[in-house]
Structure 1
Amino acid sequence: MEPGPPGATRPAEPGPRLHGECGADLAASASLLSRAEAEPQRRALAVAAVLPAGGSGERMGVPTPKQFCPILERPLISYTLQALERACWIKDIVVAVTAENMEAMEGIIRRYQHKRISLVEAGVTRHRSIFNGLKALAQDQPDSKLSRPEVVIIHDAVRPFVEEDVLFQVAAAAKEHGAAGAIRPLVSTVISPSPDGCLDHSLERARHRASEMPQAFLYDVIYAAYQQCSDYDLEFGTECLQLALKYCHVKAKLVEGSPDLWKVTYKRDLYAAESIIKERISQQICIVMDTKEDEEHVGRHLEEMLKNELNHLKVTSVTLCHAGRDLQQVILEQCYSFVCVNVMTSEFEETQKLLNTLKESNLSILYPVVVISVHFLDYKSVPVDQKMENLMQIRELAKEVKKRNILLCGLLIFYPQDKQKLQESVRQGATIITTFIKERNSGFIGQLLVA
């Protein structure tokens, strides 16, 4: 299925919030009251999740299994785990992975600080992997840290954009009906060909739906279904809801899913997923300036230009006299784009302070953080050659912070100029900043760009 639009209008990326804050996102239209009412219901569910992640990525045509393919230098499966971890009411997440990829998966869990994750060895087919995950949740397993849940969610490791609301809806529906699954309208009409390759008949698209993930079940229902499965089911089957119906006579409740539930299947889907992630983490920009709020200097022109050019994004400013308190708040809001305007101080003093704060925050563990160090050159008081030589230290600084997933580049704007020329330079600077933030292109790293 081709990827649809991101679906969520809010800028927050999929996955858990930093500093332990999670489980707070509901549908954008929900009121504060309904949020408060829904949270106890979520926590009352005893829920676990199983992710089959033993696929080979054959349809993608790449040697690396698709769940381990990098997006912004981070494996795809990490984004999916992040989305599930965001739901604090999911107690355990069991990942079924092949023996040869077990060590790599353990490394991903450590590097990206995933929590509540247990690994089991995958089977040779999707259903066998799911069954292995379900068996790991059974109470009769020796030395197991897992507990038997009331409801189990089954989700694909390569569907990274699942929202907490959908997870909760299928889990709640499963508790009531025994089984539930997300569905979406069909994009194309389904046809049945005859043995000679001609059209036999077609289905009426409006009457049918595409089965998606996540799906959820009462644990006892889906476990009993898998225990009764034939070898043919385990070898060639793909639809879990059908197993619950076939062996336990449980009709699944179908829940309308969002456009975000598409599955990364082909190589082009990786580019689409990267584009969505970049868009989501580029919705807020923080401008840090070395001046008091009531002071007027050239950095304010850049701030106003960015606000005018990026009226669809959230642009906030922080002055260094309040930077400690205000920056922490911006970081808690998960801002991944920073512009540090250096006017009053020399070279990279304030940029270095910002970089140190970002490194201490661990903000860049999950997503690349962009920092643009802006410098205004008064060529009447400082020789251009001297200024440029001093600013070239950005190359070494950028190499250092790149190890922490912070992408640093410099921007030089000549000042003073007449009003019209300055306005044009600032506008060009705003364009450069916007491009770097949206693209997060490693080609900009360590560069000193001139507006």
Structure 2
Amino acid sequence: MEPRPAAPRPRLCDSLGADQTPSASTLNAARAEARPAGRRAPAVAAVLPAGGSGERMGVPTPKQFCPVLERPLISYTLQALERVCWIKDIVVAVTGENMEAMKGIIQKYQHQRISLVEAGVTRHRSIFNGLKALAGDQPDSKLSKPEVVIIHDAVRPFVEEDVLLKVVTAAKEYGAAGAIRPLVSTVISPSADGCLDHSLERARHRASEMPQAFLFDVIYEAYQQCSDYDLEFGTECLQLALKYGHIKAKLVEGSPDLWKVTYKRDLYAAESIIKERISQHICLVMDTKDENHVGHRLEEVLKDELNHVKVTSRLPCHTGRDLDQIMSEQCYSYVCVNVMTSDFEEIRKLVDMLEESNLSILYPVVVISVYFLDYKSVPFDQKMENLMQIREYAKEVKKRNILLCGLLIYYPQDEHKLQESLRQGATIIATLIKERNSGLVGQLLVA
């Protein structure tokens, strides 16, 4: 087993939005169920088999390493498990040829509590290798045996903490548990000649999903008793617990987001979900307190036009407290409204703070520099010369995964024209934030 990489600098747990974060009442109830009065919480670890070749994906790169928003898919799955503080260890089984690449991912994205083992030639053999590492069967193992182990797919990045809690709690009581979902299509059995033999009643059957959880001794002993045929051709861990441990797994209803990235089109779906989730909060950095100024009109229009998005505003102060606020908000979309000046220094300060916060390590951060300029006060050429700084600076900060572009709104205008410009500006802002298109970096758009 590969030694666990040195822990990186601590950072705040990340969140992808309200739909990914269970309510406090849900978590507290599950935690109370998992920790009865007078009893300690079970030690929990997770095993991720990540040795697949991704043949169905139809691309040369194994699907767990395919980029989504320029970040490997497996990194999102690790992040989802890391966010759960009660999972003590995460063991990832990867092939020898991908071992160095996996170490690089752990280091680059600052993953923690991760240990690596070499994958087997099949899924079950990879899982078995992960369990062996947790059991301490390998001489160089630094891991301790957990009471409960979660088995999850490396290519299911949207697993939620409440589902993990439910399967762990059920495994503690029943010995094994797994997430299920309703069947989308009816399952049929063909005959040897390719004709319909029989079909199953869809309402009586369910699709087995991940995560699954087991009392460690139950699943480890089941794997120790497995036949070579099971290890070569089997895929269902719950069946092994039933066959060799005589444990009937408790089935837990899973959420719609437990789907598995299998085909190339699934990568685009995953990217769309991630973009949607990190675009649900916009922070406006406004350089004036004057609530009657046109800059605050844009904030009002954004709130009206994007009523499903949280819009907050604050003054630029660039202090340590301000950096703490950026980190705690976990916001990946910033609109810097330059009401009083076209000076580019405020944008530089904001970008420096975003880089220091490490937010852009995990997701592309969009920064839109908005300028409200009175076209009568300064010659047009001079204004454009000041604003064109954005192009070269945007190329520089793109390397840090910060996507910077500009938006120019002229005023004063008559009320109708100004309102229309503000609506158009809000539409441009919403599109830039939702799409996170790196091809638009450095562009100066006009509303």
TM-score band by shorter chain is over 0.9
Superposed displacement of residue 28, structure 1: 3.1
State the AA in 2 paired with 1:317. S
Does 2:238 align with 1:238? no
* 1:291 and 1:320 in contact (8 A); partners too: no
Which residue of 62, 75, 96 maps to 1:65?
Answer: 62
State the AA in 1 paired with 2:435. E
State the AA in 2 paired with 1:89. W
Does 2:81 align with 1:88? no
CA distance in 1, matches of 2:34, 2:171: 18
State the AA in 1 paired with 2:182. P
Does 2:74 align with 1:77? yes
Does 2:279 align with 1:298? no
The equivalent residue for 1:229 is: 226
- Residues 313-335 of structure 1 deviation map (CA, whole Å, 9 limit, x = unaligned): 11111123598645632431211
Indicate how the Cα distance of structure 1 residues 272 and 33 shifts in structure 2: closer, same or farther if over 3 A, else same. closer
CA distance in 2, matches of 1:72, 1:48: 28
- Residues 23-56 of structure 1 deviation map (CA, whole Å, 9 limit, x = unaligned): x986337269648846867981111110000000
* 2:33 and 2:169 in contact (8 A); partners too: no
* 1:43 and 1:89 in contact (8 A); partners too: no
The equivalent residue for 1:437 is: 433
The equivalent residue for 2:12 is: 19
- Within 5 Å, which residues of 2 pair with 1:175-194? 175-194=172-191
Structure 2 stretches of 5 or more lacking a match? 1-9
State the AA in 1 paired with 2:378. V
Q: Quick check: 33-42 or 175-184, which moved more? A: 33-42
The equivalent residue for 2:369 is: 373
The equivalent residue for 2:400 is: 404
Which residue of 209, 212, 228 maps to 2:206?
Answer: 209
Does 2:196 align with 1:199? yes
CA distance in 2, matches of 1:351, 1:228: 62
Does 2:23 align with 1:28? yes
Does 2:216 align with 1:219? yes
Indicate how the Cα distance of structure 1 residues 165 and 344 shifts in structure 2: closer, same or farther if over 3 A, else same. same
TM-score, normalising length from structure 2?
0.92
CA distance in 2, matches of 1:27, 1:75: 25
Indicate how the Cα distance of structure 1 residues 295 and 414 shifts in structure 2: closer, same or farther if over 3 A, else same. same
Q: Secondary structure at the match of 1:19?
A: coil
State the AA in 2 paired with 1:197. G
- Within 5 Å, which residues of 2 pair with 1:132-151? 132-151=129-148
Which residue of 343, 357, 360 maps to 1:347?
Answer: 343
Give the total of aligned pairs.
433
Does 2:356 align with 1:360? yes
Q: Secondary structure at the match of 2:154?
A: coil
* 2:30 and 2:169 in contact (8 A); partners too: no
Percent same amino acid at aligned positions?
82
- Within 5 Å, which residues of 2 pair with 1:388-403? 388-403=384-399
Superposed displacement of residue 203, structure 1: 0.5
The equivalent residue for 2:265 is: 268
Does 2:149 align with 1:152? yes
Superposed displacement of residue 438, structure 1: 0.6
Q: Quick check: 137-146 or 227-236, which moved more? A: 137-146
- Residues 150-200 of structure 1 deviation map (CA, whole Å, 9 limit, x = unaligned): 111100000000001111111111111111111111111100011111111
* 1:26 and 1:35 in contact (8 A); partners too: no
* 1:18 and 1:363 in contact (8 A); partners too: no
Q: Secondary structure at the match of 1:137?
A: helix
Q: Secondary structure at the match of 1:320?
A: coil
The equivalent residue for 2:122 is: 125
The equivalent residue for 1:314 is: 310
CA distance in 2, matches of 1:329, 1:270: 32
* 1:369 and 1:407 in contact (8 A); partners too: yes
State the AA in 1 paired with 2:53. S
TM-score, normalising length from structure 1?
0.92
* 2:412 and 2:418 in contact (8 A); partners too: yes
CA distance in 2, matches of 1:364, 1:306: 24
CA distance in 2, matches of 1:433, 1:276: 19
CA distance in 1, matches of 2:362, 2:21: 22
- Residues 302-323 of structure 1 deviation map (CA, whole Å, 9 limit, x = unaligned): 1111011001111111123598
Superposed displacement of residue 59, structure 1: 0.2
CA distance in 2, matches of 1:80, 1:340: 32
- Within 5 Å, which residues of 2 pair with 1:273-284? 273-284=270-281
